[in-house]
Structure 1
Amino acid sequence: MNTMTLWHLTGWQFAALAGAALLVGFSKTAVSGANTVSLAVFAAILPARASTGVLLPILIAGDLLAVVTYRRHAHWPTLWRLFPAVAVGVLVGTVFLVLADDAVVRTSIGAILLLMAGVTVWRRRRAAAEDEPGAVTTRSGRLKARSYGVLGGFTTMVANAGGPVMSLYLLSAGFRKLGFLGTSAFFFLIVNVSKVPFSAGLGLIDGSSLLLDAALVLFVVPGAFLGKWAVDRIDQRLFEQLVIAATVVGGLQLLLR
Protein backbone atom coordinates (compact mmCIF):
# COMPACT_ATOMS: atom_id res chain seq x y z
CA MET A 1 0.00 0.00 0.00
CA ASN A 2 1.31 3.46 -0.88
CA THR A 3 1.01 5.00 2.55
CA MET A 4 2.97 7.02 5.05
CA THR A 5 4.00 5.38 8.29
CA LEU A 6 4.14 6.94 11.73
CA TRP A 7 7.87 7.51 11.27
CA HIS A 8 7.48 9.44 8.01
CA LEU A 9 5.15 12.08 9.44
CA THR A 10 6.37 15.52 10.48
CA GLY A 11 5.34 16.89 13.86
CA TRP A 12 2.77 19.18 12.25
CA GLN A 13 1.33 16.38 10.17
CA PHE A 14 0.92 14.14 13.20
CA ALA A 15 -0.62 17.01 15.17
CA ALA A 16 -3.16 17.57 12.38
CA LEU A 17 -4.04 13.86 12.29
CA ALA A 18 -4.32 13.80 16.09
CA GLY A 19 -6.71 16.76 15.99
CA ALA A 20 -8.74 15.00 13.30
CA ALA A 21 -8.88 11.85 15.47
CA LEU A 22 -10.07 13.93 18.43
CA LEU A 23 -12.81 15.38 16.20
CA VAL A 24 -13.87 11.83 15.28
CA GLY A 25 -14.52 11.08 18.95
CA PHE A 26 -16.34 14.38 19.37
CA SER A 27 -18.55 13.83 16.31
CA LYS A 28 -19.53 10.32 17.39
CA THR A 29 -20.94 11.53 20.73
CA ALA A 30 -22.14 15.01 19.77
CA VAL A 31 -22.70 15.88 16.10
CA SER A 32 -22.81 12.93 13.71
CA GLY A 33 -21.25 13.79 10.36
CA ALA A 34 -18.82 16.37 11.69
CA ASN A 35 -15.99 13.94 11.01
CA THR A 36 -16.11 14.90 7.33
CA VAL A 37 -13.54 17.47 8.45
CA SER A 38 -11.38 14.61 9.73
CA LEU A 39 -11.77 12.88 6.39
CA ALA A 40 -10.46 15.96 4.57
CA VAL A 41 -7.45 16.20 6.92
CA PHE A 42 -6.53 12.53 6.53
CA ALA A 43 -6.91 12.65 2.73
CA ALA A 44 -4.79 15.81 2.54
CA ILE A 45 -1.88 14.42 4.59
CA LEU A 46 -1.94 10.75 3.53
CA PRO A 47 -2.39 9.24 0.05
CA ALA A 48 -6.10 9.44 -0.69
CA ARG A 49 -6.82 5.71 -0.99
CA ALA A 50 -4.63 4.85 2.00
CA SER A 51 -6.29 7.51 4.14
CA THR A 52 -9.60 5.62 4.07
CA GLY A 53 -7.91 2.52 5.52
CA VAL A 54 -6.07 4.45 8.23
CA LEU A 55 -9.20 6.32 9.25
CA LEU A 56 -11.47 3.26 9.44
CA PRO A 57 -10.16 1.76 12.74
CA ILE A 58 -10.25 5.23 14.29
CA LEU A 59 -13.90 5.56 13.29
CA ILE A 60 -14.63 2.13 14.79
CA ALA A 61 -13.06 3.22 18.07
CA GLY A 62 -15.34 6.26 18.08
CA ASP A 63 -18.32 4.07 17.23
CA LEU A 64 -17.60 1.82 20.21
CA LEU A 65 -17.51 4.80 22.55
CA ALA A 66 -20.76 6.14 21.08
CA VAL A 67 -22.48 2.75 21.49
CA VAL A 68 -21.40 2.57 25.14
CA THR A 69 -22.75 6.08 25.69
CA TYR A 70 -26.09 5.87 23.82
CA ARG A 71 -26.79 2.11 23.54
CA ARG A 72 -30.22 2.39 25.22
CA HIS A 73 -31.56 4.80 22.62
CA ALA A 74 -31.09 2.82 19.38
CA HIS A 75 -34.12 2.11 17.17
CA TRP A 76 -33.48 -1.32 15.67
CA PRO A 77 -36.39 -1.46 13.16
CA THR A 78 -34.83 1.51 11.38
CA LEU A 79 -31.44 -0.20 11.35
CA TRP A 80 -32.77 -3.43 9.86
CA ARG A 81 -34.59 -1.42 7.20
CA LEU A 82 -31.35 0.28 6.11
CA PHE A 83 -28.81 -2.55 6.16
CA PRO A 84 -29.71 -4.36 2.88
CA ALA A 85 -29.43 -1.16 0.84
CA VAL A 86 -26.23 -0.17 2.63
CA ALA A 87 -24.69 -3.55 1.74
CA VAL A 88 -25.36 -2.84 -1.95
CA GLY A 89 -23.70 0.57 -1.62
CA VAL A 90 -20.64 -0.92 0.11
CA LEU A 91 -20.21 -3.48 -2.68
CA VAL A 92 -20.46 -0.76 -5.35
CA GLY A 93 -17.93 1.33 -3.44
CA THR A 94 -15.55 -1.63 -3.20
CA VAL A 95 -15.65 -2.15 -6.96
CA PHE A 96 -14.99 1.56 -7.44
CA LEU A 97 -11.91 1.41 -5.20
CA VAL A 98 -10.59 -1.59 -7.16
CA LEU A 99 -10.87 0.30 -10.45
CA ALA A 100 -9.90 3.83 -9.39
CA ASP A 101 -6.37 5.15 -8.90
CA ASP A 102 -5.27 7.55 -6.17
CA ALA A 103 -5.98 10.70 -8.19
CA VAL A 104 -9.52 9.58 -9.00
CA VAL A 105 -10.17 8.62 -5.37
CA ARG A 106 -8.86 12.01 -4.19
CA THR A 107 -11.10 13.84 -6.65
CA SER A 108 -14.03 11.64 -5.69
CA ILE A 109 -13.53 12.32 -1.99
CA GLY A 110 -13.43 16.05 -2.67
CA ALA A 111 -16.60 15.87 -4.74
CA ILE A 112 -18.32 13.74 -2.07
CA LEU A 113 -17.39 16.27 0.61
CA LEU A 114 -18.89 19.11 -1.42
CA LEU A 115 -21.99 16.99 -2.09
CA MET A 116 -22.34 16.25 1.61
CA ALA A 117 -22.02 19.94 2.45
CA GLY A 118 -24.81 20.69 -0.02
CA VAL A 119 -26.92 17.87 1.43
CA THR A 120 -26.46 19.28 4.93
CA VAL A 121 -27.51 22.79 3.85
CA TRP A 122 -30.54 21.35 2.06
CA ARG A 123 -31.42 19.29 5.15
CA ARG A 124 -31.38 22.33 7.42
CA ARG A 125 -33.61 24.34 5.10
CA ARG A 126 -36.08 21.52 4.59
CA ALA A 127 -36.26 20.74 8.32
CA ALA A 128 -37.80 24.14 9.01
CA ALA A 129 -40.30 23.83 6.14
CA GLU A 130 -41.61 20.33 6.87
CA ASP A 131 -44.62 20.21 9.15
CA GLU A 132 -44.29 16.49 9.68
CA PRO A 133 -41.21 14.27 9.35
CA GLY A 134 -41.29 11.69 6.57
CA ALA A 135 -42.68 8.39 7.80
CA VAL A 136 -40.51 5.36 7.19
CA THR A 137 -43.43 2.91 7.06
CA THR A 138 -44.97 4.15 3.77
CA ARG A 139 -43.93 3.12 0.27
CA SER A 140 -42.16 6.46 -0.21
CA GLY A 141 -40.51 5.93 3.15
CA ARG A 142 -39.18 2.53 2.06
CA LEU A 143 -37.88 4.07 -1.17
CA LYS A 144 -36.22 6.80 0.86
CA ALA A 145 -34.55 4.24 3.11
CA ARG A 146 -33.23 2.31 0.11
CA SER A 147 -31.95 5.43 -1.64
CA TYR A 148 -30.21 6.80 1.42
CA GLY A 149 -28.93 3.34 2.29
CA VAL A 150 -27.22 2.79 -1.09
CA LEU A 151 -25.74 6.31 -1.11
CA GLY A 152 -24.64 5.96 2.50
CA GLY A 153 -23.01 2.60 1.84
CA PHE A 154 -21.14 3.92 -1.21
CA THR A 155 -19.93 7.11 0.45
CA THR A 156 -18.86 5.34 3.62
CA MET A 157 -16.89 2.71 1.66
CA VAL A 158 -15.17 5.11 -0.72
CA ALA A 159 -14.56 8.01 1.64
CA ASN A 160 -15.85 7.14 5.14
CA ALA A 161 -18.27 9.99 4.47
CA GLY A 162 -21.64 8.37 5.16
CA GLY A 163 -22.35 10.52 8.23
CA PRO A 164 -24.18 13.42 6.55
CA VAL A 165 -26.25 11.03 4.43
CA MET A 166 -27.44 9.07 7.43
CA SER A 167 -27.92 12.25 9.46
CA LEU A 168 -30.27 13.53 6.78
CA TYR A 169 -32.23 10.28 6.74
CA LEU A 170 -32.56 9.98 10.53
CA LEU A 171 -33.59 13.60 10.96
CA SER A 172 -36.16 13.32 8.17
CA ALA A 173 -37.54 10.24 9.96
CA GLY A 174 -38.23 12.37 13.04
CA PHE A 175 -35.56 11.16 15.45
CA ARG A 176 -34.90 13.20 18.57
CA LYS A 177 -31.35 13.86 19.73
CA LEU A 178 -30.76 10.77 21.88
CA GLY A 179 -32.56 8.39 19.51
CA PHE A 180 -30.61 9.91 16.65
CA LEU A 181 -27.26 9.41 18.41
CA GLY A 182 -28.08 5.89 19.62
CA THR A 183 -29.32 4.66 16.25
CA SER A 184 -26.45 6.20 14.30
CA ALA A 185 -23.93 4.79 16.81
CA PHE A 186 -25.02 1.19 16.20
CA PHE A 187 -25.46 1.81 12.48
CA PHE A 188 -21.90 3.01 11.94
CA LEU A 189 -20.35 0.46 14.28
CA ILE A 190 -21.93 -2.42 12.34
CA VAL A 191 -21.25 -0.88 8.91
CA ASN A 192 -17.67 0.12 9.67
CA VAL A 193 -16.78 -3.28 11.13
CA SER A 194 -18.27 -4.95 8.03
CA LYS A 195 -15.99 -2.79 5.85
CA VAL A 196 -12.79 -4.10 7.47
CA PRO A 197 -12.46 -7.28 5.34
CA PHE A 198 -13.03 -5.27 2.15
CA SER A 199 -10.48 -2.62 3.14
CA ALA A 200 -7.93 -5.26 4.15
CA GLY A 201 -8.50 -7.15 0.91
CA LEU A 202 -7.87 -3.95 -1.05
CA GLY A 203 -4.61 -3.42 0.86
CA LEU A 204 -5.91 -0.31 2.61
CA ILE A 205 -5.28 -1.78 6.09
CA ASP A 206 -1.89 -3.32 6.92
CA GLY A 207 0.70 -3.34 9.69
CA SER A 208 1.92 0.18 8.95
CA SER A 209 -1.57 1.67 8.94
CA LEU A 210 -2.48 -0.13 12.18
CA LEU A 211 0.65 1.20 13.88
CA LEU A 212 -0.38 4.73 12.94
CA ASP A 213 -3.90 3.95 14.18
CA ALA A 214 -2.52 2.77 17.52
CA ALA A 215 -0.91 6.17 18.04
CA LEU A 216 -3.93 8.18 16.87
CA VAL A 217 -6.72 6.24 18.58
CA LEU A 218 -5.58 7.64 21.94
CA PHE A 219 -6.96 11.00 20.85
CA VAL A 220 -10.43 9.61 20.07
CA VAL A 221 -11.21 9.02 23.75
CA PRO A 222 -10.88 12.63 25.00
CA GLY A 223 -12.82 13.75 21.92
CA ALA A 224 -15.67 11.40 22.83
CA PHE A 225 -15.77 12.63 26.42
CA LEU A 226 -15.73 16.23 25.18
CA GLY A 227 -18.66 15.44 22.89
CA LYS A 228 -20.64 13.81 25.69
CA TRP A 229 -20.09 16.89 27.85
CA ALA A 230 -20.97 19.30 25.03
CA VAL A 231 -24.00 17.56 23.52
CA ASP A 232 -26.47 19.41 25.79
CA ARG A 233 -24.53 22.67 25.69
CA ILE A 234 -23.41 23.07 22.09
CA ASP A 235 -24.90 25.68 19.80
CA GLN A 236 -25.95 23.26 17.08
CA ARG A 237 -26.62 25.85 14.39
CA LEU A 238 -23.26 27.59 14.74
CA PHE A 239 -21.40 24.29 14.87
CA GLU A 240 -23.08 22.98 11.72
CA GLN A 241 -22.18 26.21 9.94
CA LEU A 242 -18.54 25.77 10.91
CA VAL A 243 -18.57 22.11 9.85
CA ILE A 244 -20.09 22.99 6.48
CA ALA A 245 -17.50 25.70 5.90
CA ALA A 246 -14.61 23.41 6.85
CA THR A 247 -16.01 20.61 4.69
CA VAL A 248 -16.26 22.89 1.66
CA VAL A 249 -12.68 24.09 2.17
CA GLY A 250 -11.48 20.50 2.54
CA GLY A 251 -13.35 19.36 -0.55
CA LEU A 252 -12.01 22.21 -2.67
CA GLN A 253 -8.49 21.55 -1.42
CA LEU A 254 -8.69 17.94 -2.58
CA LEU A 255 -10.20 18.84 -5.94
CA LEU A 256 -7.55 21.48 -6.62
CA ARG A 257 -4.60 19.53 -5.22
Structure 2
Amino acid sequence: MGLSGYELWLLALVALIVGFSKAGIQGATMPAVAILAVMFGGKASAGIMLPMLIVGDIAAVYQYGKAANFRDVLKLMPASVIGIILGALTGNYLDDQQFKFIMGIIVLICLALLVFRQFQKQAVELPKRPWLTQLVGVTSGFSSMVGNAAGPIFNVYILAQNLNKNAMIGTTAWFFLIINLIKVPFHVFLWGTITWDTLKYTLFAIPFIGIGALIGIWLIKRINENPYKYLIIILTAISAVRLMI
Protein backbone atom coordinates (compact mmCIF):
# COMPACT_ATOMS: atom_id res chain seq x y z
CA MET A 1 0.00 0.00 0.00
CA GLY A 2 3.03 2.27 0.10
CA LEU A 3 2.55 3.10 3.79
CA SER A 4 4.86 2.48 6.70
CA GLY A 5 3.79 0.37 9.66
CA TYR A 6 3.14 3.54 11.67
CA GLU A 7 0.99 5.01 8.88
CA LEU A 8 -0.99 1.77 8.61
CA TRP A 9 -1.58 1.96 12.36
CA LEU A 10 -2.87 5.56 11.96
CA LEU A 11 -5.12 4.50 9.07
CA ALA A 12 -6.57 1.71 11.22
CA LEU A 13 -7.12 4.23 14.03
CA VAL A 14 -8.97 6.55 11.63
CA ALA A 15 -11.21 3.65 10.56
CA LEU A 16 -11.94 2.75 14.19
CA ILE A 17 -12.89 6.38 14.87
CA VAL A 18 -15.21 6.41 11.85
CA GLY A 19 -16.88 3.28 13.23
CA PHE A 20 -17.21 4.96 16.62
CA SER A 21 -18.91 7.99 15.11
CA LYS A 22 -21.37 5.98 13.08
CA ALA A 23 -22.32 3.99 16.20
CA GLY A 24 -23.79 7.18 17.62
CA ILE A 25 -20.82 8.80 19.41
CA GLN A 26 -21.26 12.29 18.03
CA GLY A 27 -18.27 14.38 16.99
CA ALA A 28 -15.80 11.52 16.97
CA THR A 29 -14.78 11.97 13.32
CA MET A 30 -13.10 15.35 13.83
CA PRO A 31 -9.69 13.99 14.94
CA ALA A 32 -9.84 11.42 12.13
CA VAL A 33 -10.31 14.19 9.55
CA ALA A 34 -7.17 15.94 10.79
CA ILE A 35 -5.08 12.75 11.05
CA LEU A 36 -5.75 11.87 7.41
CA ALA A 37 -5.10 15.46 6.29
CA VAL A 38 -1.68 15.40 7.93
CA MET A 39 -0.92 11.97 6.41
CA PHE A 40 -2.09 12.53 2.83
CA GLY A 41 -2.70 16.26 2.43
CA GLY A 42 -6.00 18.11 2.68
CA LYS A 43 -7.77 17.40 -0.61
CA ALA A 44 -6.40 13.87 -1.03
CA SER A 45 -7.45 12.93 2.50
CA ALA A 46 -11.03 14.06 1.83
CA GLY A 47 -11.23 11.58 -1.03
CA ILE A 48 -9.65 8.76 0.96
CA MET A 49 -12.00 9.26 3.91
CA LEU A 50 -15.22 9.56 1.88
CA PRO A 51 -15.59 5.84 0.98
CA MET A 52 -14.88 4.97 4.63
CA LEU A 53 -17.69 7.27 5.71
CA ILE A 54 -20.05 5.74 3.15
CA VAL A 55 -19.34 2.27 4.55
CA GLY A 56 -20.17 3.55 8.03
CA ASP A 57 -23.29 5.33 6.74
CA ILE A 58 -24.59 2.12 5.17
CA ALA A 59 -24.14 0.29 8.46
CA ALA A 60 -25.93 3.08 10.35
CA VAL A 61 -28.82 3.14 7.86
CA TYR A 62 -29.15 -0.63 8.15
CA GLN A 63 -29.34 -0.33 11.94
CA TYR A 64 -31.41 2.84 12.39
CA GLY A 65 -32.73 3.83 8.95
CA LYS A 66 -36.32 2.75 9.51
CA ALA A 67 -36.70 5.27 12.35
CA ALA A 68 -35.60 8.23 10.20
CA ASN A 69 -37.68 11.35 9.62
CA PHE A 70 -37.34 11.70 5.86
CA ARG A 71 -39.05 15.09 5.80
CA ASP A 72 -36.06 16.62 7.58
CA VAL A 73 -33.69 14.87 5.17
CA LEU A 74 -35.52 16.04 2.05
CA LYS A 75 -36.02 19.58 3.39
CA LEU A 76 -32.25 20.11 3.65
CA MET A 77 -31.19 18.28 0.51
CA PRO A 78 -31.52 21.00 -2.20
CA ALA A 79 -29.52 23.53 -0.17
CA SER A 80 -26.99 20.84 0.76
CA VAL A 81 -26.40 20.04 -2.91
CA ILE A 82 -25.72 23.74 -3.54
CA GLY A 83 -23.24 23.67 -0.65
CA ILE A 84 -21.53 20.59 -2.10
CA ILE A 85 -21.16 22.29 -5.50
CA LEU A 86 -19.76 25.46 -3.89
CA GLY A 87 -17.32 23.37 -1.87
CA ALA A 88 -16.23 21.41 -4.94
CA LEU A 89 -15.62 24.57 -6.98
CA THR A 90 -13.81 26.29 -4.09
CA GLY A 91 -11.59 23.30 -3.41
CA ASN A 92 -10.70 23.00 -7.07
CA TYR A 93 -8.83 26.33 -6.98
CA LEU A 94 -6.92 25.90 -3.70
CA ASP A 95 -3.44 24.54 -3.16
CA ASP A 96 -3.01 21.92 -0.45
CA GLN A 97 -1.87 24.34 2.27
CA GLN A 98 -4.89 26.59 1.65
CA PHE A 99 -7.13 23.53 1.59
CA LYS A 100 -5.81 22.32 4.95
CA PHE A 101 -6.17 25.82 6.42
CA ILE A 102 -9.85 25.95 5.42
CA MET A 103 -10.30 22.45 6.83
CA GLY A 104 -8.77 23.71 10.09
CA ILE A 105 -11.20 26.64 10.21
CA ILE A 106 -14.16 24.30 9.60
CA VAL A 107 -12.93 21.90 12.28
CA LEU A 108 -12.59 24.80 14.76
CA ILE A 109 -16.16 25.91 14.01
CA CYS A 110 -17.33 22.35 14.55
CA LEU A 111 -15.33 22.26 17.78
CA ALA A 112 -17.17 25.35 19.02
CA LEU A 113 -20.47 23.61 18.24
CA LEU A 114 -19.30 20.50 20.11
CA VAL A 115 -18.40 22.58 23.17
CA PHE A 116 -21.72 24.43 22.97
CA ARG A 117 -23.64 21.20 22.78
CA GLN A 118 -21.65 19.65 25.64
CA PHE A 119 -22.40 22.49 28.05
CA GLN A 120 -25.92 23.30 26.90
CA LYS A 121 -28.20 22.43 29.81
CA GLN A 122 -31.47 22.50 27.91
CA ALA A 123 -32.71 21.53 24.49
CA VAL A 124 -31.51 23.71 21.63
CA GLU A 125 -34.30 25.77 20.10
CA LEU A 126 -33.88 27.17 16.61
CA PRO A 127 -36.28 29.64 14.99
CA LYS A 128 -38.64 28.04 12.49
CA ARG A 129 -37.39 30.07 9.55
CA PRO A 130 -36.93 28.74 5.99
CA TRP A 131 -33.73 30.78 5.54
CA LEU A 132 -32.20 29.08 8.59
CA THR A 133 -32.98 25.64 7.17
CA GLN A 134 -31.37 26.63 3.87
CA LEU A 135 -28.32 28.02 5.69
CA VAL A 136 -27.88 24.76 7.60
CA GLY A 137 -28.16 22.84 4.32
CA VAL A 138 -25.63 24.97 2.41
CA THR A 139 -23.19 25.02 5.34
CA SER A 140 -23.50 21.26 5.85
CA GLY A 141 -22.96 20.55 2.16
CA PHE A 142 -19.96 22.90 1.89
CA SER A 143 -18.19 21.71 5.04
CA SER A 144 -18.90 18.09 4.14
CA MET A 145 -17.38 18.53 0.67
CA VAL A 146 -14.31 20.43 1.80
CA GLY A 147 -13.55 18.63 5.04
CA ASN A 148 -15.96 15.75 5.68
CA ALA A 149 -16.77 17.75 8.80
CA ALA A 150 -20.46 18.62 8.69
CA GLY A 151 -21.53 16.39 11.60
CA PRO A 152 -21.61 18.95 14.45
CA ILE A 153 -23.32 21.53 12.22
CA PHE A 154 -26.06 19.09 11.28
CA ASN A 155 -26.33 17.79 14.85
CA VAL A 156 -27.22 21.23 16.25
CA TYR A 157 -30.05 21.38 13.71
CA ILE A 158 -31.32 17.84 14.24
CA LEU A 159 -31.27 18.19 18.04
CA ALA A 160 -33.71 21.07 17.71
CA GLN A 161 -36.24 18.85 15.90
CA ASN A 162 -37.25 17.05 19.13
CA LEU A 163 -36.79 13.57 17.70
CA ASN A 164 -36.25 10.48 19.80
CA LYS A 165 -32.77 8.93 19.86
CA ASN A 166 -33.33 6.31 17.15
CA ALA A 167 -35.09 8.79 14.87
CA MET A 168 -32.26 11.28 15.30
CA ILE A 169 -29.58 8.69 14.50
CA GLY A 170 -31.59 7.31 11.57
CA THR A 171 -32.25 10.76 10.10
CA THR A 172 -28.59 11.67 10.44
CA ALA A 173 -27.54 8.38 8.84
CA TRP A 174 -29.75 8.84 5.79
CA PHE A 175 -28.78 12.50 5.37
CA PHE A 176 -25.06 11.78 5.33
CA LEU A 177 -25.36 8.65 3.21
CA ILE A 178 -27.16 10.64 0.51
CA ILE A 179 -24.85 13.67 0.51
CA ASN A 180 -21.74 11.48 0.70
CA LEU A 181 -22.92 9.55 -2.37
CA ILE A 182 -23.60 12.85 -4.16
CA LYS A 183 -20.02 13.93 -3.41
CA VAL A 184 -18.46 10.87 -5.07
CA PRO A 185 -18.60 12.13 -8.72
CA PHE A 186 -16.93 15.41 -7.71
CA HIS A 187 -14.08 13.50 -6.07
CA VAL A 188 -13.74 11.14 -9.04
CA PHE A 189 -14.11 13.51 -12.02
CA LEU A 190 -13.32 17.01 -10.69
CA TRP A 191 -10.73 16.55 -7.95
CA GLY A 192 -9.41 13.12 -8.95
CA THR A 193 -9.13 12.16 -5.27
CA ILE A 194 -10.99 8.84 -5.52
CA THR A 195 -9.25 6.32 -7.78
CA TRP A 196 -8.82 2.57 -7.92
CA ASP A 197 -5.52 3.17 -6.15
CA THR A 198 -7.07 5.08 -3.21
CA LEU A 199 -9.86 2.52 -2.78
CA LYS A 200 -7.29 0.07 -1.42
CA TYR A 201 -7.27 2.19 1.73
CA THR A 202 -11.03 1.67 2.04
CA LEU A 203 -10.65 -2.09 1.68
CA PHE A 204 -7.99 -2.06 4.40
CA ALA A 205 -10.24 0.10 6.62
CA ILE A 206 -13.52 -1.84 6.35
CA PRO A 207 -12.79 -4.40 9.11
CA PHE A 208 -11.63 -1.65 11.46
CA ILE A 209 -14.76 0.42 10.75
CA GLY A 210 -16.85 -2.59 11.76
CA ILE A 211 -14.76 -3.18 14.88
CA GLY A 212 -15.00 0.51 15.81
CA ALA A 213 -18.79 0.46 15.46
CA LEU A 214 -19.11 -2.65 17.64
CA ILE A 215 -16.77 -1.25 20.30
CA GLY A 216 -18.62 2.07 20.22
CA ILE A 217 -21.99 0.38 20.74
CA TRP A 218 -20.53 -1.63 23.62
CA LEU A 219 -18.77 1.32 25.28
CA ILE A 220 -21.59 3.83 24.99
CA LYS A 221 -23.74 1.60 27.19
CA ARG A 222 -21.07 1.15 29.87
CA ILE A 223 -19.02 4.30 30.32
CA ASN A 224 -19.68 7.85 31.39
CA GLU A 225 -19.87 9.83 28.17
CA ASN A 226 -18.47 13.09 29.58
CA PRO A 227 -14.78 12.04 29.84
CA TYR A 228 -14.95 10.64 26.32
CA LYS A 229 -16.51 13.84 24.98
CA TYR A 230 -13.88 15.97 26.69
CA LEU A 231 -11.20 13.80 25.08
CA ILE A 232 -12.78 14.30 21.66
CA ILE A 233 -12.89 18.08 22.23
CA ILE A 234 -9.21 18.19 23.24
CA LEU A 235 -8.09 16.01 20.33
CA THR A 236 -10.17 18.07 17.91
CA ALA A 237 -8.63 21.34 19.13
CA ILE A 238 -5.10 19.96 18.76
CA SER A 239 -5.95 18.56 15.31
CA ALA A 240 -7.41 21.86 14.08
CA VAL A 241 -4.33 23.81 15.17
CA ARG A 242 -2.09 21.20 13.52
CA LEU A 243 -3.95 21.67 10.23
CA MET A 244 -3.53 25.44 10.30
CA ILE A 245 0.25 25.60 10.91
Q: State the TM-score bracket (shorter-chain normalisation).
A: over 0.9
Tell me, what secondary structure is at the counterpart of 1:208? coil
User: Structure 2: which amino acid aligns with 1:157?
Assistant: M
Task: Summarize deviations over 1:37-73 as a string: whole Å, max 9, x none.
Answer: 1101111111211000000000000001111111221
Separation of aligned partners in 1, 2:172 and 2:220: 15
Separation of aligned partners in 2, 1:72 and 1:198: 29
Mapping of residues 207-222 of structure 1, within 5 Å: 207-222=196-211
User: Structure 1: which amino acid aligns with 2:78?
Assistant: P
Tell me, what secondary structure is at the counterpart of 1:207? coil
Separation of aligned partners in 1, 2:221 and 2:61: 18
Tell me the CA shift for residue 10 of structure 1. Answer: 1.1
- TM norm structure 1: 0.90
- Contact 1:27 1:34 (C-alpha < 8 Å) held by counterparts: yes
* Cα distance change of structure 1 residues 232 and 56 upon mapping to structure 2, 3 Å threshold: same
Task: Summarize deviations over 1:214-255 as a string: whole Å, max 9, x none.
Answer: 112221111111222234334333222211111110000111
Separation of aligned partners in 2, 1:158 and 1:99: 12
Aligned residue number for residue 235 of structure 1: 224
User: Structure 1: which amino acid aligns with 2:175?
Assistant: F
- Contact 1:133 1:174 (C-alpha < 8 Å) held by counterparts: no
What percent identity do the matched residue pairs reach? 32
Q: Larger deviation: 143-152 or 158-167?
A: 143-152
Tell me, what secondary structure is at the counterpart of 2:194? coil
Tell me the CA shift for residue 90 of structure 1. Answer: 0.3
Separation of aligned partners in 1, 2:148 and 2:33: 7
Mapping of residues 123-202 of structure 1, within 5 Å: 123-125=117-119, 127-130=120-123, 133-134=125-126, 138=128, 140=129, 142-201=130-189, 202=191
1:27 pairs with 2:16: no
Choose which of 44, 51, 74 in structure 2 pairs with 1:50. 44
Separation of aligned partners in 1, 2:137 and 2:226: 26
Task: Summarize deviations over 1:7-55 as a string: whole Å, max 9, x none.
Answer: 2x11111101111111101110121331111101111111211000000
Aligned residue number for residue 3 of structure 1: none
Tell me, what secondary structure is at the counterpart of 1:90? helix
Structure 1 runs not aligned, ≥5 long: 1-5
Separation of aligned partners in 2, 1:144 and 1:230: 35
Separation of aligned partners in 2, 1:124 and 1:144: 22
* Cα distance change of structure 1 residues 143 and 233 upon mapping to structure 2, 3 Å threshold: farther
Separation of aligned partners in 2, 1:28 and 1:176: 17
Separation of aligned partners in 1, 2:15 and 2:89: 27
Separation of aligned partners in 2, 1:215 and 1:111: 29
Tell me how large the CA RMSD over aligned residues is: 1.6
The ranges of structure 1 where at least 4 consecutive aligned residues each deviate by more than 4 angstroms after the TM superposition are: none
Tell me the CA shift for residue 129 of structure 1. Answer: 4.6
Separation of aligned partners in 2, 1:194 and 1:96: 17
User: Structure 1: which amino acid aligns with 2:234?
Assistant: A
Aligned residue number for residue 91 of structure 2: 97
Aligned residue number for residue 11 of structure 1: 5
- Contact 2:79 2:137 (C-alpha < 8 Å) held by counterparts: yes
The number of residue pairs the alignment matches comes to 244
- Contact 2:126 2:157 (C-alpha < 8 Å) held by counterparts: no
